[in-house]
C-alpha cells in the first residue's frame, strides 16, 4: 500500500517502483552531492568512464527492479552478474589473461563508490563479494587450473562466487574455525559448516577457509576453491534477516566433500594470512559502498524537510535540522578523504591495515548515525517501508558487524597504537 501525503510524493516516488520525477532523480544521483567524485585526487578520466558505464547498468538493469527483488527476498545474481561481466566490471583489477583489466585497486574503489547508488545494500554487497571478497587471493596466488576454472568465468559473469569464512561458532575469531580439509591421497576431504554466507544459495563455487593441519591457528588454515555442486554440500537454510533483504545468506554443511588437493589457493597453511590480506580489500570496498547511500539519504532528507511544514515553517528551516545535516555531510567527506588516502597508500604498496581499520570502524558508525538522524527528520514517513532512508537504516546496520565488527577494528587499531594488553596466560 502506498502512503500518499501532499508534497511527499516527490521524494518517495522513486522508491516504491513508481516513476521517478526529475527532482527525485537528482536526489538519487551520485553527482548531486556537494563534493563531486571528480574532486577525488586519485580518480582520473578512466575512473569516471568506469563509473559512467556502471551507472548506466544501475539505472537500466538494477534500480528499476530493486523493490521487487527486496519484496521477493532475492535478486537474480546470474542475470545481473552477466550484464556486469559483459561490461568488464567484474575483473577490474584482475589479470588480463583471465579476462580482467589489470587496473590498480583505485579503479575497483571507484566502481564500488558508484555501486553505492543502487537503491539497497544487498545487491552491491553481493557484487562486492564476487569482486573484492572471494577472488582477490585467487587472482594473486591461485594456480592456473583454479584461475581458469573459477576466476575467468567469475570475471565473465558466468559463475557466482561466495566466501566461506564464518561459522556458527566462529565469526570475529577467525582463527578458531573448525571446518577441516584433510588430505587423502591426491584429494582433500572437507567436513564442517559455514554460516552467514552471502550469495550462498545461488553460488557456483565457494572460496572456503578450512583447517588443513593441526598446527598453530595462524599456520593451519588454507583457502580453497570448492564447486557448490560437489557431493556432500548442503544448503541447510536461507537465513531470514532484518535488512539486506534481497541478498541470499546461507548456512552450509560440508560432509565428506572431496576435491582435488590442488584446489588450495596458493601455499597450504597460508590461508589465514591470505584471508587477512583479502579483508583489507573487502573493507575498503565496504567503505566505498557506504558513501553514496549516505549522500543520497542526506540529499533526500534535505528535499523532504524543505517542503514539509510544521509550526508555520519548513522542517529544514529549524537550525537543529540543517546544522545536523551539515555535520553529517562533513563527516561523510572526512570518511571519503580517509578512504582516498588509504587507497593511494595501498596502490603505492604500503601496509594500510591501520588506516583501513579506522575507516571501516568509522563507516560502520557513521552509516548508523546518518541513517538514524535522517530518518528522524522524516517523522512517521521515516518509519515506513516507502522511503529509502528506512531501507538504508536496516541494510547499513550490517557494516558495524560484517567483515570484522567495530570492536575487532578497535582491537587492530589498539595493536598499532601499542595499547592492546597481552593475551591472558
Ligand atoms: C548479512 C550478513 C552477511 C554475511 N556475509 C558473510 C559472508 O559472505 N562470508 C562470511 O564468511 N561471513 C559473512 N558474514 C559473517 C560476519 O562476517 C560475522 O557476522 C562477523 O564477522 C561477526 O561474527 P559473529 O556474527 O560470529 O559475531 P561474534 O563473533 O559472536 O561477535 C558478537 C559481537 O561481540 C562483540 N565482539 C567480538 N569480538 C570482540 C572483542 N574482541 N572485543 C569486544 N567485543 C567483541 C562484537 O560486538 C560482535 O558484534 C555475514 C554476516 C551477516 C549478518
pLDDT tens-place string over residues 157-201: 999 999 999 999 999 999 999 999 999 999 999 999 999 999 999
Residue of 26, 199, 31 lying closest to 113 (CA atoms)? 31
Contact at 8 Å (CB) between 336 and 291? yes
CB distance 172 to ligand 1 below 6 Å:
yes
Q: Which residue has the cell 538493469?
A: 61
For the chain, what is the mean pLDDT? 92
Does residue 193 share a domain with residue 150? no
Instruction: Using CA atoms of 193, 194, 195, 198 in order, give the dihedral in degrees to the nearest 10.
Output: -150
Task: Indicate if 78 and 22 belong to the same structural domain.
Answer: no
Residue nearest to atom 33 of ligand 1 (CA): 405
The residue among 13, 33, 31 whose CA lies nearest residue 22 is 13
Q: Would you say residue 423 lies in a domain?
A: no
Q: Of 254, 269, 284, at which residue does a domain stop?
A: 269
pLDDT at 425: 67
User: Please, which pLDDT band fits residue 423 given cuts at 50, 70 and 90?
Assistant: confident
pLDDT over 90 (residue 91)? yes
Does a structural domain hold residue 222?
Answer: yes
Cα of 202 to ligand 1 centre, how many Å? 22
For a pLDDT cut of 70, what percent of the chain falls above it?
90
401 C-beta closer than 6 A to ligand 1: yes
Q: Is the pLDDT of residue 3 over 60?
A: no
Same domain, 43 and 148: yes
Per-residue pLDDT, 175: 96
228 and 338 both lie in a single domain: no
Ligand 1 pocket member 410 (CB < 6 A): no
Q: Is 402 in the pocket of ligand 1 (CB under 6 A)?
A: yes
Residue 381 Cβ inside 6 Å of ligand 1? The answer reads no
Closest listed residue to residue 159, CA positions, set 128, 204, 198, 201: 204
Give the mean model confidence (pLDDT) for residues 39-61. Answer: 92
- Residue 170's CATH number: 2.40.110.10
Q: Has residue 30 got a pLDDT over 60?
A: no
Same domain for 207 and 86, yes or no, is no
Is 68 inside a domain boundary? yes
Within-domain flag for 425 = no
Single out the residue in 104, 121, 156 at which a domain terminates.
156
Q: What CA–CA distances, in Å, run from 369 to 145, 172, 332, 408?
A: 46, 23, 11, 20
| Ligand 1 pocket test target in 173, 196, 226, 283 with most atoms within 8 Å of CB | 196
Residue 211 has phi, psi (to 5 degrees) of -75, 125
- The cell for 3 is 502512503
Mutate to test the pocket of ligand 1, among 397, 402, 408, 424 (most ligand atoms within 8 A of CB): 402
What's the 417 CA to ligand 1 centre distance in angstroms?
Answer: 23
pLDDT on residue 27: 36
Model confidence at 31, in pLDDT bands (50, 70, 90)?
Answer: very low
**Domain co-membership, 284 together with 165:** no
Q: How many residues does the chain have?
A: 425
Whether 150 and 198 map to the same domain: the answer is no
Q: Which pLDDT band holds residue 16 (cuts at 50, 70, 90)? A: very low
In the chain, what percentage of residues exceed pLDDT 90?
Answer: 88
Task: Determine if ligand 1 sits within 6 Å of the CB of residue 196.
Answer: yes
Cα distances from 72 to residues 85, 396, 412, in angstroms, run 24, 19, 38
**What is residue 75's DSSP assignment?**
-
CA distance 374 to 399: 18
Ligand 1 centroid to residue 221 C-alpha, Å: 19
Chain centre distance of CA 306: 32
pLDDT (0 to 100) of residue 67: 97
Q: Residue 313 is part of a domain; what is its CATH number?
A: 1.20.140.10
Q: Is 208's pLDDT higher than 70?
A: yes
In-domain check, residue 348: yes
Closest approach atom of ligand 1 to CA 129: 8
Classify 256 in phi/psi space as left (phi over 0), alpha (psi -120 to 50) or beta.
Answer: left
From the CA of 172, give the closest atom in ligand 1: 29
Residue 22 lies in a domain: yes
The CATH code of the domain that includes 116 is 1.10.540.10
Indicate if the pLDDT at residue 6 is higher than 50: no
pLDDT tens digits for range 291-342 = 999 999 999 999 999 999 999 999 999 999 999 999 999 999 999 999 999 9
In this predicted structure, what is the pLDDT of residue 39? 57
386 catalytic residue (yes or no): no
Residues of the domain holding 86: 31-156
Domain count, the chain: 3
Do 289 and 319 fall within a single domain? yes
Same domain, 129 and 90: yes
Atom of ligand 1 nearest to the CA of 164: 11
pLDDT at 40 (0 to 100): 65
pLDDT tens digits, 51-77: 999 999 999 999 999 999 999 999 999
Average pLDDT over residues 135-144: 98
For residue 152 and ligand 1, the question of a CB distance below 6 A is answered with: no
* Entry pTM: 0.92
Q: Measured between alpha carbons, how far is residue 12 from residues 99, 115, 381 in Å?
A: 40, 21, 9
- The reply to whether 200 and 312 lie within a common domain is no
Residue 422 in domain: no
Q: How confident is the model at residue 424 (pLDDT cuts 50, 70, 90)?
A: confident
Per-residue model confidence (pLDDT) at position 188: 98
Q: What is the pLDDT of residues 250-261, one digit of tens each?
A: 999 999 999 999
* CA 120 and chain centroid, separation: 11
| Same-domain status, 388 and 361 | yes
Ligand 1 mean position, distance from CA 195 (Å): 10
* Probe target for ligand 1 pocket from 132, 172, 424, with the most ligand atoms within 8 Å of CB: 172
Question: Would you say residue 248 lies in a domain?
Answer: yes
Give the Å distance between the CA of 173 and the centre of ligand 1. Answer: 8
Q: Is the pLDDT of residue 29 over 90?
A: no
At residue 4 the predicted structure's pLDDT band, cuts being 50, 70 and 90, is: very low
Looking at the CA of residue 170, tell me the nearest atom of ligand 1: 26
Amino acid at each position: 500500500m502506498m502512503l500518499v501525503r501532499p508534497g511527499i510524493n516527490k521524494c518517495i516516488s522513486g522508491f516504491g517502483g513508481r516513476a521517478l520525477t526529475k527532482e527525485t532523480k537528482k536526489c538519487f544521483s551520485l553527482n548531486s552531492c556537494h563534493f563531486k567524485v571528480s574532486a577525488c585526487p586519485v580518480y582520473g578520466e578512466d575512473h569516471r568512464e568506469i563509473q559512467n558505464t556502471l551507472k548506466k547498468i544501475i539505472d537500466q538493469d538494477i534500480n528499476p527492479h530493486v523493490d521487487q527483488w527486496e519484496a521477493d527476498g532475492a535478486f537474480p545474481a546470474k542475470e545481473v552478474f552477466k550484464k556486469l561481466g559483459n561490461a568488464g566490471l567484474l575483473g577490474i583489477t584482475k589479470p588480463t589473461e583471465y579476462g580482467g583489466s589489470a587496473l590498480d585497486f583505485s579503479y575497483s574503489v571507484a566502481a564500488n563508490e558508484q555501486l553505492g547508488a543502487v537503491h539497497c545494500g544487498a545487491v552491491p554487497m553481493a557484487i562486492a563479494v564476487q569482486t573484492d571478497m572471494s577472488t582477490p587471493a585467487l587472482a594473486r596466488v591461485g594456480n592456473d587450473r583454479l584461475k581458469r576454472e573459477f576466476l575467468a568465468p567469475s570475471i565473465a559473469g558466468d559463475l557466482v562466487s561466495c566466501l566461506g569464512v564464518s561459522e556458527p561458532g566462529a565469526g570475529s575469531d577467525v582463527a578458531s574455525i573448525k571446518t577441516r580439509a584433510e588430505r587423502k591421497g591426491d584429494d582433500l576431504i572437507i567436513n564442517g559448516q559455514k554460516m552467514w554466507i552471502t550469495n550462498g544459495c545461488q553460488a557456483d563455487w565457494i572460496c572456503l577457509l578450512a583447517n588443513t593441519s593441526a598446527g598453530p591457528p595462524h599456520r593451519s588454515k588454507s583457502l580453497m576453491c570448492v564447486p557448490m555442486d560437489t557431493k556432500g554440500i548442503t544448503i541447510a537454510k536461507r537465513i531470514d534477516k532484518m535488512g539486506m533483504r534481497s541478498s541470499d545468506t546461507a548456512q552450509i554443511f560440508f560432509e565428506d566433500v572431496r576435491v582435488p588437493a590442488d584446489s588450495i589457493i596458493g601455499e597450504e597453511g597460508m590461508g589465514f594470512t591470505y584471508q587477512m590480506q583479502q579483508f583489507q580489500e573487502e573493507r575498503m570496498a565496504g567503505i566505498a559502498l557506504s558513501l553514496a547511500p549516505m549522500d543520497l539519504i542526506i540529499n533526500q532528507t534535505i528535499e523532504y524537510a524543505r517542503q514539509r511544514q510544521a509550526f508555520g515553517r519548513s522542517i529544514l528551516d529549524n537550525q537543529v535540522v540543517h546544522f545536523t545535516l551539515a555535520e553529517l555531510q562533513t563527516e561523510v567527506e572526512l570518511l571519503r578523504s580517509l578512504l582516498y588516502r588509504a587507497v593511494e597508500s595501498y596502490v603505492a604498496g604500503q601496509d594500510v591495515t591501520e588506516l583501513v581499520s579506522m575507516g571501516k570502524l568509522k563507516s560502520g558508525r557513521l552509516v548508523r548515525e546518518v541513517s538514524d538522524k535522517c530518518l528522524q527528520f522524516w517523522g512517521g514517513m521515516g518509519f515506513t517501508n516507502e522511503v529509502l532512508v528506512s531501507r538504508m537504516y536496516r541494510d547499513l546496520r550490517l557494516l558495524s558487524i560484517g567483515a570484522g565488527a567495530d570492536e575487532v577494528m578497535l582491537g587492530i587499531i589498539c595493536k598499532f597504537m601499542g595499547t592492546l594488553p597481552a593475551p591472558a596466560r
